[in-house]
Amino acid sequence: MYLIKNAKVYAPEDLGDMDVLTGGGQILKMGKDLPAETAYGVEVIDGTGKVLMPGLIDAHVHILGGGGEGGARTRTPELALSDVVSGGVTTVVGCLGTDGCTRTMENLLAKAKGLEEEGITTYVYTGSYQVPARTLTGSIMDDIILLEKVVGTGEIAISDHRSSQPKKKEFARIVADTRVGGILSGKAGLVNIHMGDGENRLKFLRYVVKKTEIPPSNMLPTHINRSRELMEDGIDYAKSLGGYIDLTTSSDPDHLDPDEVKASRGLKMALEAGVSSDHVTFSSDGQGSLPVFDAQGQFAGLGVGKVCSLYREMRDSVLTEGICLTHALKAVTQNPAALLKLPRKGRILEGADADLVLADAGTLVIDTVLAKGKVMVRHGQVLVKGTFES
Ligand code: ZN
């Protein structure tokens, strides 16, 4: 049990200075001046001068590794626990990408289970870029209903040269099956959609919203910030049809493609254009392959996208773009929790899971991270590492 004393709590709404008591993996009690009763093994964590935030949710991570687009040696490695918790992330949704052949659903589920055993919360999407989706049981709906960790489908690729070039009705069918699978299992039934550079942009999503009865909350298109055109189309989709948009954080901020929009900048653009702060999310695309550049800006090989970029962009939203902490946090906590239908995640409230991040109030540098009530990071040092991390 931990009693976090006197931190400024962002739930993500600003609740002011408060004490938060955790036990049994949950937030048990919140209030002013809670008694520091250490007789029951309660350990006090001083939150003075710090902000307390919900643990981050990363709804798009290649936990098994991804890439492979430059041949087999460019397949990226699996996710390590310390890369997750050091960036304040306590919940991840794993997915397959371009490669749905050598990366399998069986393997994805095993990796998700392993990360859960190591201390964080994990879910997965069924499928990969491919259409028809490569599932475990042979059906999207069956995967969602029968497999506990499967909360949706993804990342289904559209408007991309690497996609299966699905027709819009095929795409609508995937969203429909995912939605019904979600309804029948009490889960989100969310389709995570990989957006490429193609000029159709969000056309298929507009088709689903306009021509079917399916609400936009069953679809989350990602990589919306990959180009200025797609960012503008995403803003229009969110404003005119109530759509949700996801911005990718793992690009190297010092070597962005000239047309690419930094995620924190994209959030600012969306909010300034009048998009609701409930309709924008960030995800890292962690463990995907990324080009690396040398000091002269020349291509120097491939690197791996980092989950900790999620926190960096949340922080840059506040410190560089001047967005209030509540709005920046919503993109990585409350909003993904709502779309993924995870009522115990993404908020600081009594009864929620004790997934918490304590950071310096000025610099937002992470001090302490709790995942399901267990201290994973303390004084900036990772205490709990993955099974094979030294
Ligand atoms: Zn993608």
Q: Which two tokens stand for residue 171?
A: 């795409």
CA of 97 to the centre of ligand 1 (A): 6
Q: CA-CA distances (angstroms) from residue 338 to 31, 153, 224, 270?
A: 25, 16, 19, 19
What whole-number distance in Å separates Cα of residue 208 and Cα of residue 13?
A: 33
Q: Please report the pLDDT score of residue 300 as a whole number.
A: 78
Q: Which residues surround ligand 1, an ion (CB under 5 A)?
A: 155, 194
φ, ψ for residue 285, nearest 5 deg: 60, 30
CA of 48 to the centre of ligand 1 (A): 40
CA of 119 to the centre of ligand 1 (A): 26
φ, ψ for residue 43, nearest 5 deg: -100, 130
CA of 176 to the centre of ligand 1 (A): 21
What whole-number distance in Å separates Cα of residue 258 and Cα of residue 118?
A: 39
SS (H, E, C) 195-245: ECCCCCCCHHHHHHHHHCCCCHHHEEEECHHHCHHHHHHHHHHHHHHCCCE
CA of 285 to the centre of ligand 1 (A): 7
Name the DSSP letter for residue 346.
S
Say how many CA atoms lie within 13 Å of 25 toward its Cβ: 7
Start-to-end C-alpha separation, the chain:
27
Q: Which two tokens stand for residue 172?
A: 């609508």
Residues annotated catalytic, as ranges = 285
Nearest-5° angle of CA 189, CA 190, CA 192?
Answer: 150
The pLDDT tens digits for 70-98 are 888 889 999 999 999 999 999 999 999 99
Q: Please report the pLDDT score of residue 303 as a whole number.
A: 86
The pLDDT tens digits for 276-325 are 999 999 999 999 988 777 777 777 778 899 999 999 999 999 999 999 99
Beta bridge mates, 91:
57, 121
The pLDDT tens digits for 330-364 are 999 999 999 999 999 999 999 999 999 999 999 99
Q: CA-CA distances (angstroms) from residue 160 to 118, 193, 223, 238?
A: 35, 11, 12, 21
Which residues of the chain fall below pLDDT 70? none
Q: Please report the pLDDT score of residue 40 as a whole number.
A: 80
Q: Which two tokens stand for residue 249?
A: 């954080």
CA of 98 to the centre of ligand 1 (A): 8
Q: What is the dihedral of CA 232, 58, 95, 388, to 10 degrees?
A: 140
What whole-number distance in Å separates Cα of residue 258 and Cα of residue 367?
A: 34
pTM: 0.96
